[in-house]
Amino acid sequence: MADGFSLFTDRSVVAMRVNGELKDLAATLETTDVVEPVTIDSPDGLNILRHSATHVLAQAVQTVNPAARLGIGPFVTDGFYYDFDVAEPFTPEDIKSLEKAMDRIIRQGQRFVRRIVTHDEARAELAAEPYKLELIGIKGGPGEGGDHSSTVDANNSATAEEESVEVGGAELTIYDNVDPKTGETVWKDLCRGPHLPSTRMIGNGFSLTRLAAAYWRGSEKNPQLQRIYGTAWPTKDALRAYQARQEEAAKRDHRKLGAELDLFSFPEEIGSGLPVFHPKGGIIRQEMENYSRQRHTEAGYDFVYTPHITKSTLFETSGHLDWYADGMFPPMHLDEERDDSGHVTRQGVDYYLKPMNCPFHNLIFKSRGRSYRELPLRLFEFGSVYRYEKSGVVHGLTRVRGMTQDDAHIYTTREGMKEELTSTLNFVLNLLADYGLNDYYLELSTKDPKKFVGSDEAWEEATQTLSEVATASGLELVADPGGAAFYGPKISVQARDALGRTWQMSTIQLDFNLPERFELEYTANDGTRQRPVMIHRALFGSVERFFAVLTEHYAGAFPVWLSPVQVVGIPVSEQYGPFLDDIVMRLKKVGVRAEVDHSDDRMQKKIRTHTKAKVPFQLIVGEEDQANNAVSFRFRDGTQDNGVPVTEAIRRIVEAIETRAQVVTSPSTAREAADVEAAVTGAAATDAASPVTQDVL
């Protein structure tokens, strides 16, 4: 019988898919198998590379510190991590020594060898590894300990999916690291696989990146382990490119820019995950929201407002207390009354901070009789919601406990739902483009078989309808099996930012179930009572998260219309201040956020200050400018347009705001760059076309 080594001689092939299942190259093949190669630079290949690197890291740790106990070591986006139970936390100096130990293991070319074991055999071999024994118990099923209920963010704690790299296969397996010279097993780990054929294939494209702490299986009730993160790439050049992207990402970190640009903060007195927006951040947020309000009004949405708390019965009806209680803050027990003896004379009621707006909107729909003539009814709200996130998961503005959702719920007929979904998706994509995000694909999240309400038939119809709408958009569509909320499938817009990173932005969910639970009805054109279909739609996701994404996308240099300060006047000397004051007054009258820097700083320091603050336009005025009723435009990249008449300067500024333009350089510099690019492109096209023409002749 053949194996993958005999079938694929290309050294870039590191594993194979056999009848759709990932397997080691050493796996035996049948003549009827459908086999596909997996190269190291493919998504599956990169995951296998990084998973193999986690084993080498764990082996290196136990080589240096034999008392270290092993947690889990999955691959994650762009890297991997491994959790360890050690007496003393790791230090940055440990990272350096561990990288050297990993390099020695890699150079030895140890073979990864898969071995099927029974539960008893696994327990015997890993008797000194308590966390592995717990995972073996999970694999053994009910009665042998554990479950997969702990599911939180990969940056903090283990998820069931990540645990499955250890015990998620059909069989329980151990991978031995075998010395190629002696055939001796030098290290082993409980693992599903697959792995690279040899540690040597990891090469020199790896690096350990940071340290963290994480609770075992995501529960604060469990021991806190020490986590080591790393990354691995097929080549050293690919690693360097990744590190360069990370350096740029660090410069763009919205938490860093938020402090530098005085946009927002997280006062310790308020609590984790609860941001406050400062005046400059408030301006950006106000502009974001105002433009959204304008577009929603034009698209026929009705604005509603709902309270921040509600009685528990609302979330019992919606199902959130059954399916989402872990993401909600604890209840407030109110309105209870007692007599002087302490006896309850009036029962209290549990109130909850709302994690969602949809149940409230359902009550608005239900508040009176509805006719088919009112549908589609589009309700929109900037609604504040509160979700309990574990402290280790909270991250800047992208993962908060208190947020504002630009939440819409659309009620339509079953016959009209596809048209409304198409219209909603187009509205979402066009509005995202207006904010400068125009590179995206779609993801279709389907039913979680363990967490859903409603019938299979309703889910199938909803999923098929969303799939058809997404496909018709012409955008790439990626499957997300089991990723839907409990009440219905969803399309999510996955947007790529300036660094090529993917962010989940807008979501569109099709829901047959909540209208049923809330007994929503409308009168159809034949006089019968019918159930509406409900579409949940959030465009920003949350205002806070969208703010963070835009901050990093633009590196804090927002388009002019979003910039807190759009224009700063800088007089060459004090005598030119009044001239600039008049210009700024004219700008303010047409709605421009402008000011004059009358400080005692020297002109060059003023320019540096406002360049660092990422102000789009600096208007500099000296003797010649004032004499000619003109200004010198200075742009964010340091280029200038000198001697621009004041009227023309105001026109340019207003036009940049009205067209939502991103202005970084002077128009003349931009034109020159475009001319050069066109010339280079034309030359390249000519060069590419010439050989073809010669061949034809």
* 696's tokens: 């034809």
Known catalytic membership, residue 566: no
Q: Which residue, chain included where needed, has tokens 């804090």? A: 556
Known catalytic membership, residue 606: no
Residue in 89, 394, 87 with CA at minimum distance from that of residue 227: 89
**Is there a contact between 172 and 182 (Cβ–Cβ < 8 Å)?**
no
Q: Which of 405, 494, 509, 530 is catalytic?
A: 405
| Sign for the pseudo-dihedral over CA of 161, 162, 165, 168 | negative
Known catalytic membership, residue 448: no
Q: Which of 50, 227, 490, 610 is catalytic?
A: 490
Known catalytic membership, residue 407: yes
DSSP letter, residue 148: S
Instruction: Say what angle helices 577-589 and 646-658 make with each other, to 10 degrees.
Output: 40
Q: Which of 50, 285, 320, 387 is catalytic?
A: 387
Q: Which of 114, 285, 401, 409 is catalytic?
A: 409
d(CA 169, CA 146): 17
Element (H, E) at 315: helix 312-318
* 193's tokens: 């696989």
d(CA 280, CA 252): 18
* 294's tokens: 């304008």
Q: Which of 358, 378, 530, 566 is catalytic?
A: 358
Residue in 378, 490, 374 with CA at minimum distance from that of residue 427: 378
* 561's tokens: 């219309």
Phi-psi sector, 442: left (phi>0), alpha (psi -120 to 50), beta: beta
DSSP letter, residue 78: T
Q: Which of 188, 390, 536, 553 is catalytic?
A: 536
**Is there a contact between 479 and 490 (Cβ–Cβ < 8 Å)?**
no
Cα angle 360, 362, 368; round to 5:
110
Known catalytic membership, residue 490: yes
d(CA 468, CA 418): 9
The SS3 call for residue 443 is strand
d(CA 209, CA 234): 17
Known catalytic membership, residue 536: yes
| Sign for the pseudo-dihedral over CA of 148, 150, 155, 156 | negative
Distance of CA 633 to the CA centre of its chain: 37
Buried b (16+ CB within 10 A) or exposed e, 557-572: bbbbbbbbbbbbbbbb
Q: Which of 24, 189, 407, 511 is catalytic?
A: 407
Residue in 319, 388, 393, 321 with CA at minimum distance from that of residue 351: 321
Buried b (16+ CB within 10 A) or exposed e, 480-491: beeebbbbbbbb
CA 353 to each of CA 309, 546, 550: distance values in angstroms, whole numbers, following the listed order: 4, 22, 28
The SS3 call for residue 693 is helix
Q: Which residues are designated catalytic?
A: 358, 387, 405, 407, 409, 490, 536
